[in-house]
Chains A and B, each alone.
Chain A
Amino acid sequence: MKKNSPLAILLTLAVVGITVYFLIPTFIYYSKSPQARETYLHDNPRIMKKILNLGLDLQGGMRLVLEIDRSKLEKGQDKDVLDRAYTIIENRINALGVAEPTIQKQGKDRIIVELPGLKDESSAKSVIGRTAQLEFNLLREPAQLEHAINLIDNVIAGKASKDTAAASDTSAAGEKEKQKLAEQLFKGSEAEDTSEEKAPEKTAEARSFKELLVSLGDQVGVNMDNVPRVSTILARQDVRQVLERAGLGGNSFLWSHDTTKLEGGFYRVLYYVKSSPEMRGDLIKDARASIDQSGFRAGGAKVDLEMNAKGARRFSSVTAANVNKFLAIVLDSTVYSAPRIIQKIPLGRAEITGSFTLEEAKNLAIVLRAGALPAPVNIIEERIVGPSLGQDSIDKGIMAAIIGTALVFVFMLFYYRLSGVIALIVLILNIGIVLAVMAGVNATLTLPGIAGIILLIGMGVDANVIIFERVREELGLGKTAKSAIDAGYSNAFVTIMDSNLTTLITAFILLWKGTGPIRGFAITLIFGIVASLFTALFVSRIMMNMFFQKSKNTLSI
């Protein structure tokens, strides 16, 4: 019998080690309760990239395939229509606040949207299917923003609304107050603590509105972690009533689309705009990004904006009346940019400059065109799985896997005795490798994927069955245990390679031509075949040598 080569042993140990290493994060994550998972996820934001993710069919969620309806577009409008539709849909999905959404373009006119763990699928569908709204809204003065923030803060701090009403009524006192507030707001929490009365039993959630904000010059920013909390506060009935009573009902808070990186993480800008737009996107004829060729901004990116005749007139009067103010470009209630109006623009041709890259300028141009031109989409495929069904599928899948493994185990033990144990150890390693590779490459486990793994339990022992049968035959020819094992493995090698490679061919075609969850099946099948090839040819051989070192003419096979 050939001795175990140190290289083969080392390789096996390495594979086992890597398998365990890649499975640890997945094991830690899924052994927690759903609540504990959320906290854990918050503390380890990158964990999702290291664990085995569950497909929509297992964790519940919605998958939509949207197709652009080109028949509703006029000639010449269909240029970059997919990019426009993508921008609109991405924007809306971000507004839905679903964790880990995926949005992909497919082919020339399709967009695939996957929303895991979605609760309210019918409103999501209507939000996604709506026509895009592009608007231009004036930004409010910083003083007004501060005033509003102060009012909200009072509501949150639990103060009676009459104080705030008084503050806004007496304008002189109000001005002074505002000044003071502005100082407080941007100085941080220490100033607040000294000036504010101690309100009893404030929860961490509603401790202070201002604490959730940071100053960004004339605007305020909100850390990404606090964005949902701020949105909730702004939507509160009492908050809105107070703002309305203070005469601020005609203004709205809008989030920026882009995030800014500052110390302490990523921030979104919270804009305060006049609710009624100055003009709408249908007045835009075209928008395109370019690089300034001359002048002191040469080399900088810009967006050239062109209005239609009606738009030119409207734009001319809006710009004339609001020089030096900021005009926010708002697509579906999200601010993409808020350039300053430098001068009156009479002829309907405007230029948006700023410190953006060409890529950013291109994106802004897409936003402007998205509002100008319709990009009608139809939902052509929709799959929704409720979370309870997903959990059912997982539970039943695990049950089927356990019973299936047990049956195979009993059979192998009965038929091949000690060698059957080897086949079983190898089998468990196989499943481990498949799951570890999937976790390592951040693949998704789907319901058909579970079926693939269960199938692997049955088909994966095949390589070992081939080997064992071959070894038995060699023993039957009167060979010694050692040479029977050697001959068995070398004769079985070609057979195992040929038979597994052909299965691999069909698995790859399934991966290539399959859709959605079926691809998940193909992936587990491919990893499974490769893993079982490796374990049959290396690992089971090493164990054979170890188990039967002292055997002479008989083997427990």
Chain B
Amino acid sequence: MVQFFKKTNFNFIKYSKLAITISIVFVLVSIAFIFVHRGLNFSVDFAGGTLVQVKFDKPVKDDLGKIRTIVNNLGLGSPEVKTIGVAANNELQITVAKQENEETNVANVIRDAFSKDYKENGFEIRRVESVGPKIGGELKRDALIATILSLIAILIYVGFRFNLPFGVASVVPLFHDVLITVGVFIIFDLEISLTFIAAILTIVGYSLNDTIVIFDRIRENMRGGLRGRNFAELVNSSINQTLSRTVNTAMTTFFVVGSLYFLGSEAIKDFALAMMVGVVAGTYSTIYIASPILLWWNNKKPIAK
């Protein structure tokens, strides 16, 4: 039998204060980075504006300067031009901030400019996303509502299935996971888009799943074999008992989001990256944050249910 953990008895609870300190420091650092990058990097979904993805026949690496000059002279402000994809180097993403004159058809303007001033390279416009500022604001609001609502719904569900301390102890780590994932995106100045929000809510689901499995074991042990023991010991043994499962599921999930990140299409890469961060954060928070909160709430005494 292959087994990574044979009857372990790691003292997880002992390190929980250190772990929480590390998390708090990380969140503070990522908040500091908001100022470094002058705000969050919202995609056109949220900020409004137009994104045009252009694929050229030949690599454009050496012509980037020329392309930027062309794009900057279109009266569209100073759009951001960056290469996307890994290997070919012939695909560009041009992001135009929201325009005062919304009637302008940005994709057409760019198409005309390239066919006139950059004739040496054939191209195809593969994707256009244009979002008005009003919609952007609504999407932002909806995303926030969705995240908060799911946290409330979870608090109610867990509070009902277990009890209030378990509910609170399962929701706090979710805030942690969301903050850590957003933090990584802030520090590396990655784009916060609609798919990122989907990733955040999936992380919430995943991390909670993880927490519930351990809480379930704690509840079972309170009723059964380990009744009457010191609650800290009980929590610690429960974490150890479920450790194999925690690690194995994290691994299989990490395998698939990893292959999605390295092999999936451009539009899904940020989703996969957020998920990778989230799976690590979710696993870590279950062990080092959820269980200690439960413990402190109960003042190291077993709670009856």
Contacts and interface: CB of A to CB of B under 8 A. Distances in A.
A451 B129 contact: no
B142 interface: yes
A458 B105 CA distance: 42
Interface stretch (B14-22, B59-67, B184-192, B264-272): B264-272
B153 A509 contact: yes
B241 interface: yes
B133 to A, nearest CB: 9
Interface string A66-110: 010000000000000000000000000000000000000000000
A525 interface: yes
A245 interface: no
Interface residues of A, number: 76
B265 A393 contact: yes
B263 interface: yes
Interface in B202-243: 202, 204-206, 208-210, 212-213, 216-217, 220, 241-242
Contacts of B119: none
Interface stretch (A224-232, A276-284, A285-293, A394-402): A394-402
A499 B260 contact: no
A507 interface: yes
B208 A502 contact: yes
A325 to B, nearest CB: 42
B249 A506 contact: no
A397 B265 contact: yes
B126 A404 contact: no
A383 interface: yes
Contacts of B263: 396, 399-400, 403
B194 interface: yes
B244 interface: yes
Interface in A393-421: 393, 396-397, 399-400, 403-405, 407-408, 411-412, 414-417
Contacts of B1: 472, 557
Contacts of A525: 202, 205
A125 interface: yes
B128 A462 contact: no
Given A408-B256, A502-B212, A451 B158 contact: no
Interface in B251-285: 251-260, 262-265, 267-268, 271-272, 275
Interface residue SS majority, chain B: helix
Contacts of A411: 248, 251-252, 255
Contacts of A384: 107, 125, 127-129
A448 B268 contact: yes
B252 A408 contact: yes
Contacts of B132: 378-381
A22 interface: no
Given A503-B205, A506-B202, A381 B127 contact: no
Nearest to B156: A505
A514 interface: yes
Given A380-B135, A458-B254, A525-B202, A498 B268 contact: no
Interface in B59-112: 102, 105, 107-108
Contacts of A399: 263
Given A389-B53, A407-B255, A507 B205 contact: yes
B253 A514 contact: no
B302 to A, nearest CB: 20
Contacts of A457: 252, 256
B157 A451 contact: no
Given A382-B128, A505-B150, A448 B271 contact: yes
B198 interface: yes
A354 B130 CA distance: 45
Nearest to B111: A122
A415 B149 contact: no
A465 interface: yes
A238 B206 CA distance: 66
A397 B202 contact: no
Contacts of A498: 161, 212, 216
Nearest to A501: B157
Contacts of A518: 194-195, 197-198
A31 interface: no
Contacts of B58: none
Interface residues of B, number: 75
Nearest to B4: A415
A65 B220 CA distance: 52
B252 A388 contact: no
B124 interface: yes
Given A380-B132, A383-B128, A386-B125, A502 B265 contact: no
B164 interface: no
Given A404-B256, A499-B212, A393 B267 contact: yes
B146 interface: yes
A57 interface: yes
A451 B271 contact: yes
Given A386-B126, A458-B255, A557-B1, A451 B135 contact: no
Contacts of A388: 55, 124, 126
Nearest to B247: A465
B208 A503 contact: yes
A251 to B, nearest CB: 35
Contacts of A407: 252, 255-256, 258-259
B290 to A, nearest CB: 13
A396 B208 CA distance: 30
Interface in A514-557: 514-518, 521-522, 525, 557
B245 A382 contact: no
A124 to B, nearest CB: 12
Nearest to A494: B216
Q: What are the 9 closest A-B residue pairs judged by CB atoms, nearest first?
A: A458-B256, A458-B253, A404-B256, A513-B146, A503-B205, A380-B132, A407-B255, A384-B128, A404-B259
Given A379-B130, A447-B268, A513-B142, 19 more contacts: A380-B134, A389-B127, A400-B259, A404-B260, A451-B260, A454-B260, A455-B202, A458-B249, A458-B257, A459-B253, A461-B252, A473-B241, A502-B154, A502-B158, A505-B153, A506-B154, A512-B146, A513-B145, A514-B198
5 contacts: A397-B265, A458-B257, A459-B206, A459-B252, A502-B154
